[in-house]
Amino acid sequence: MSSSEHEQHFTPPPPGDFLGHPRALWMLFFAEFWERFSYYGMRAILGPYVAIAFFSHLGEGAEEAASLTYGGYTSMVYMTGILGGYVADKVLGYQRSIMLGGALMAAGLFLLLAPDFTMFLVGLALIVVGNGLFKPNISTMVGKLYPPADVRRDSGFTIFYMGINLGAFLAPFVCGAWIGAEYGYRWGFFAAGIGMIFGLMVFQILKFWLGHVGEVPEGKRGLGPIFQVLIGGAILALPVYYLLSKNDVLGVLLVIMMLGLIAYFIYSGIVSKSKEQLHRYIAMLILFGANMIFWALFEQAGSSLNFFARDYVDAPFDFTLFQSANPIFILALAPVFSLLWPKLDKINMNPSIPRKFAFGLLGVGAGFYALVLAINTMQNDMGQVPWIMLALCYMIHTMGELCLSPIGLSMVTKLARPKETGLAMGGWFLSIATANYAAGRIAAIAAGGGGHGEAGSIEGYLTVFNQLFWGGLIAGVLFFIVAPFVNKLMHGVK
């Protein structure tokens, strides 16, 4: 489908800008701030809580089992995004999908207070289903605020990304180091649920700023479609609950879904009768592959890096606060990157999207080398490494993230056909789901000794971190090599 189709389907939001961007961007910024507060608040304490509350009887195997649960949950959170994108495109519209998804997530967060593992998994299942309706659709709506050729789009996504990370920065302080540490991690989950409710309030009160953007599809008004989606969500929660406890089955399902995604977009490109659109979908799928590699390495943050911080990092503060390292670096560096891309564009030095992805892969690999160096040369008498080296790892990872993640969100809205934007964004999050599953497996290997040494030993972490360093480096170099080919497939999309 040609670029003219994108132009014809653009519906502008109501007039009114703030700081050079549509004011609706700032409403989405704050709604996403609270949603990410709830997600990262519970994520900061999820792995350690599950290990202590439900797997302590396994002894040294508790962290390995908790890592698999963590990886299964985080992958499922992103996996349902592809269904949520379809629901928004065809059934509810983006605005109603976001509200319904947020309500389900809040209910699930409150269920995490249950001391019974069965009810705990039910809570995780509700969060997974709700997130599928919320997360991809609020990101898609950011892209719908700008005309296709608007140069502000990448900067708008970077600003939106700052909202994500402002919530992620504050959440570990509130849910982990304060409420979780003082009153018990269960109450940290409660604080995360309150945050989700605040996000829904912001969205509902200010949604008139969106105007017709993300409204209900033609013929789908009324309560009927809402009840249909609720029933479908309840049904979906059953297999989600099952898969949360069956990690191997989940891995097979993710592979099948990724293959189905690839087949669908190739088919859609062919039936569009546009060679240009087919090429764009091929480019998008290649970028999905790079995205999977990046997040499989990056998402050690909440699992293996969290356990490593607890056991082997010499720090004068609670280990959960390392979960705030990435978002605080985002907040410090995102404005720099937001200004950098337009300035480089003016002098014809702005890297192409594929090259930005390559920089991201190099960054996530290089971050692990900081830990390899620390373990090899900086251990104290207690076998711990300086906290500054883990902070350095997070900073380098963040620089790689800023080259890839906000650019990727923008890329999806540019390359997809307008009627498939929600589905394509769901595909982007499905690639992250697959990466999170792989990340959980990697974390379990690290917790189990990495193939060398005892379970949870520093030697095991050294082995895994060294492998992740080389994996990121090799992937980044390979992507630099194929970047010109991918850029050609994008047919002028920047």
Whether 457 has a pLDDT exceeding 90, the answer reads: no
Residue 29 pLDDT grade (very low, low, confident, very high; cuts 50, 70, 90): very high
Sequence spans of domains, the chain: 3-489
**What are the C-alpha distances in Å from 59 to residues 77, 156, 354?**
28, 47, 45
> What is the structure's pLDDT at 467?
95
Q: What CATH class does 3-489 carry? A: mainly alpha
> What is the structure's pLDDT at 39?
92
Q: Looking at the DSSP assignment, which residues form a beta bridge with residue 19?
A: none
Q: How far apart are CA 53 and CA 448, in angstroms?
A: 19
* Residue in 368, 397, 399, 360 with CA at minimum distance from that of residue 480: 360
> What is the structure's pLDDT at 9?
65
> What is the structure's pLDDT at 135?
84
Least confident of 2-11, 33-42, 118-127, 301-310: 2-11
> What is the structure's pLDDT at 268?
92
Whether 8 has a pLDDT exceeding 50, the answer reads: no
> What is the structure's pLDDT at 331?
85
What would the pLDDT profile of 92-116 be if each residue is shown by its tens digit? 999 999 999 999 999 999 999 999 9
What would the pLDDT profile of 223-282 be if each residue is shown by its tens digit? 899 999 999 999 999 999 999 988 889 999 999 989 998 999 999 999 988 899 999 999
pLDDT, average across residues 138-152: 84
Residue 1 pLDDT grade (very low, low, confident, very high; cuts 50, 70, 90): very low
Residue 153 pLDDT grade (very low, low, confident, very high; cuts 50, 70, 90): confident
Most trustworthy range by pLDDT among 327-336, 420-429, 448-457:
327-336
Least confident of 9-18, 119-128, 198-207, 389-398: 9-18
pLDDT, average across residues 415-436: 85
Whether 156 has a pLDDT exceeding 50, the answer reads: yes
Residue 454 pLDDT grade (very low, low, confident, very high; cuts 50, 70, 90): low
Q: How far apart are CA 385 and CA 196, in angstroms?
A: 36
> What is the structure's pLDDT at 5?
45
What would the pLDDT profile of 184-237 be if each residue is shown by its tens digit? 989 999 999 999 999 999 999 999 999 888 888 888 888 899 999 999 999 999
Q: How far apart are CA 402 and CA 333, in angstroms?
A: 8
Whether 416 has a pLDDT exceeding 70, the answer reads: yes
> What is the structure's pLDDT at 451?
55
> What is the structure's pLDDT at 6?
45
Which has more pLDDT, 162 or 230?
230
- At what angle are helices 152-171 and 185-206 packed, to 10 degrees? 150
Q: Chain-wide mean pLDDT for the chain? A: 89
Residue 64 pLDDT grade (very low, low, confident, very high; cuts 50, 70, 90): confident
Percent of the chain residues past pLDDT 70, beyond the cut: 96
pLDDT, average across residues 177-190: 92
Residue 84 pLDDT grade (very low, low, confident, very high; cuts 50, 70, 90): confident
Give the β-pairing of 385-386 and 313-314: parallel
Which has more pLDDT, 315 or 20?
315
Q: What is the 3-state secondary structure (H, E, C) of the chain?
A: CCHHHHHHCCCCCCCCEECCEEHHHHHHHHHHHHHHHHHHHHHHHHHHHHHHHHCHHHHHHHHHHHHHHHHHHHHHHHHCHHHHHHHHHHHHCHHHHHHHHHHHHHHHHHHCCCCCHHHHHHHHHHHHHHHHHHHHHHHHHHHCCCCCCCCHHHHHHHHHHHHHHHHHHHHHHHHHHHHHHHHCHHHHHHHHHHHHHHHHHHHHHHHHHHCCCCCCCCCCCCCHHHHHHHHHHHHHHHHHHHHHCCHHHHHHHHHHHHHHHHHHHHHHHHHCCCHHHHHHHHHHHHHHHHHHHHHHHHCCCCCHHHHHHHHHEECCCCHHHHHHHHHHHHHHHHHHHHHHHHHHHHCCCCCCHHHHHHHHHHHHHHHHHHHHHHHHHCCCCCCCEEHHHHHHHHHHHHHHHHHHHHHHHHHHHHHCCHHHHHHHHHHHHHHHHHHHHHHHHHHHHHHCCCCCCCCCCHHHHHHHHHHHHHHHHHHHHHHHHHHHHHHHHCCCCC
